[in-house]
C-alpha cells in the first residue's frame, strides 16, 4: 500500500480493497481532524510508520517508535536468504538424523536487532531455530520484546554492544546476521528528514560508515562454528570495501552478494572457513 492508502485504511478501519470499493469516503469531524493532524506531522518530515506506530515486514506487523529503525523492504532479502540457507541445512540434517548432533537446533544470533524485525521473522519462518537477539539500546529492546509477543515468538533478547555481553562469551552459533548502522557520520545531517528522525545509534557507522563491519568481521569468528554463516546488510557503494575487510580478516569465504530491487549490492553472504 502507498502512504495515502495506509493512512486512510487505518483511519477508516478498511482494507485496501474496502477503500476502493466505496464510491465516496466520508470522514466524520473527529476523523477529519485526525487526518489533518497526521498529514501535518507527515508534511513536517515525520515518517508515516512512526505516526501510525506500526509497519509491516515479511508480512508481519511490527510496532515502531522513534527508538527503533523502521524496517526496510531491502532487509527482507537478508531474512529470505537466511531462511533459505537454514532450511537447506536443516533438511540435510534430517537426512543424517541417525548421526549424533544430526537433529540439533540451529542457533542464530541477530546483532543490532532494533525493532526485532529480523529475529522475529526468522523465528516465525524457522520454528526449529533458537534465536538470540542483541541491541545496545534498552529502549529498542523493549519494543523488540513487545514485537516478539505481538507475533507469538520466543526470542532470547540480550542487552549488549555487539558481542560485549558476558552472556555471549560461550556461545557458538550456526549463523550470525546483522543489519548494522552503516551511514557515514557526517552524511547523516544531509539525509532526508524522515531518516533523520530515526535513532542515530541505528544509522551511524562512524567516520567511513564501516566501523561495525570491522568489529563484526573481527569478532564473529569466535562465536561462530566452522562452516557457520555470517550474513550482513550493506549500504550503497560498500561492496568492495566490505569485501576488502573480509579478505584481510581471512576467516570468511564470500559465498554470495545479493542485489536489492534497485540493483544495489545489499546482502553479503559469507561462511566461516574451516
Q: Nearest-CA neighbor of 85 among 230, 243, 252, 249?
A: 230
Span interacting with ligand GLN, options 16-24, 128-136, 137-145, 181-189, rule CB under 6 A: 181-189
Nearer to ligand GLN among residue 173 and residue 212 (C-beta): 212
**Residue 179 touching ligand GLN (CB under 6 A):** yes
Span interacting with ligand GLN, options 52-60, 98-106, 167-175, 180-188, rule CB under 6 A: 180-188
The rounded distance, in Å, linking the Cα atoms of 224 and 172 is: 5
Nearer to ligand GLN among residue 170 and residue 192 (C-beta): 192
Selected from 8, 50, 62, 182, the binder of ligand GLN by CB under 6 A is 182
Q: To the nearest whole angstrom, how small is the minimum distance from the Cβ of residue 138 to ligand GLN?
A: 19
What is the CB neighbour count within 10 angstroms for residue 112?
25
Give, as ranges, the residues between 54 and 83 that touch ligand GLN (CB under 6 A): 69, 72
Burial class of residue 19 (count of CB atoms within 10 Å of its CB; 0-12, 13-18, 19+) = middle
Q: To the nearest whole angstrom, how small is the minimum distance from the Cβ of residue 69 to ligand GLN?
A: 6
* Strand, helix or coil for residue 67: coil
Q: To the nearest whole angstrom, how small is the minimum distance from the Cβ of residue 196 to ligand GLN?
A: 10
Selected from 47, 181, 221, 228, the binder of ligand GLN by CB under 6 A is 181
Nearer to ligand GLN among residue 49 and residue 106 (C-beta): 49
Contacts of 183 (CB under 8 A, 6+ apart): 191, 203, 204, 205, 209, 235
Nearer to ligand GLN among residue 68 and residue 126 (C-beta): 68
Which string of x and - marks every residue 183-222 that binds ligand GLN (by CB under 6 A)? Answer: x-----------x-------x-------------------
Largest CA distance in the chain: 68
The rounded distance, in Å, linking the Cα atoms of 66 and 200 is: 10
Beta-strand ranges (E) seen in the chain are: 54-57, 60-63, 107-111, 130-135, 156-159, 173-178, 224-233, 252-259, 265-272
Span interacting with ligand GLN, options 77-85, 91-99, 176-184, 258-266, rule CB under 6 A: 176-184
Nearer to ligand GLN among residue 83 and residue 195 (C-beta): 195
The rounded distance, in Å, linking the Cα atoms of 139 and 146 is: 11
Cell output for 69: 529503525
Positions that interact with ligand GLN (CB under 6 A): 69, 72, 179-183, 195, 203
Amino acid at each position: 500500500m502507498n502512504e495515502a492508502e495506509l493512512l486512510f485504511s487505518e483511519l477508516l478501519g478498511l482494507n485496501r480493497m474496502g477503500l476502493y470499493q466505496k464510491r465516496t469516503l466520508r470522514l466524520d469531524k473527529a476523523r477529519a481532524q485526525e487526518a489533518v493532524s497526521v498529514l501535518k506531522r507527515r508534511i513536517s518530515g515525520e515518517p508515516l510508520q512512526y505516526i501510525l506506530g506500526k509497519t509491516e515486514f515479511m508480512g508481519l506487523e511490527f510496532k515502531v517508535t522513534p527508538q527503533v529503525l523502521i524496517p526496510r523492504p531491502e532487509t527482507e532479502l537478508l531474512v529470505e536468504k537466511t531462511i533459505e540457507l537454514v532450511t537447506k541445512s536443516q533438511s540435510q540434517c534430517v537426512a543424517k538424523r541417525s548421526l549424533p548432533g544430526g537433529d540439533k537446533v540451529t542457533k542464530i544470533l541477530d546483532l543490532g536487532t532494533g525493532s526485532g524485525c529480523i529475529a522475529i521473522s526468522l523465528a516465525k519462518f524457522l520454528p526449529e531455530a533458537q534465536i538470540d537477539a542483541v541491541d545496545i539500546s534498552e529502549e529498542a529492546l523493549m519494543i523488540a520484546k513487545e514485537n516478539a509477543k505481538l507475533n507469538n515468538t520466543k526470542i532470547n533478547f540480550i542487552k549488549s554492544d555487539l558481542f560485549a555481553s558476558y552472556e555471549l562469551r560461550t556461545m557458538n552459533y550456526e549463523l550470525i546476521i546483522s543489519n548494522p548502522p552503516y551511514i557515514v557520520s557526517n552524511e547523516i545531517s544531509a539525509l532526508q528528514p524522515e531518516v533523520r528522525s530515526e535513532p542515530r545509534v541505528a544509522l551511524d557507522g562512524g567516520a567511513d560508515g564501516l566501523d561495525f563491519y570491522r568489529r563484526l568481521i573481527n569478532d564473529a569468528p569466535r562465536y561462530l562454528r566452522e562452516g557457520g554463516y555470517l550474513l550482513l546488510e550493506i549500504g550503497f557503494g560498500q561492496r568492495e570495501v566490505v569485501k576488502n575487510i573480509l579478505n584481510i580478516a581471512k576467516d570468511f569465504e564470500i559465498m554470495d552478494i545479493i542485489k536489492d530491487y534497485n540493483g544495489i549490492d545489499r546482502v553479503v553472504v559469507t561462511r566461516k572457513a574451516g
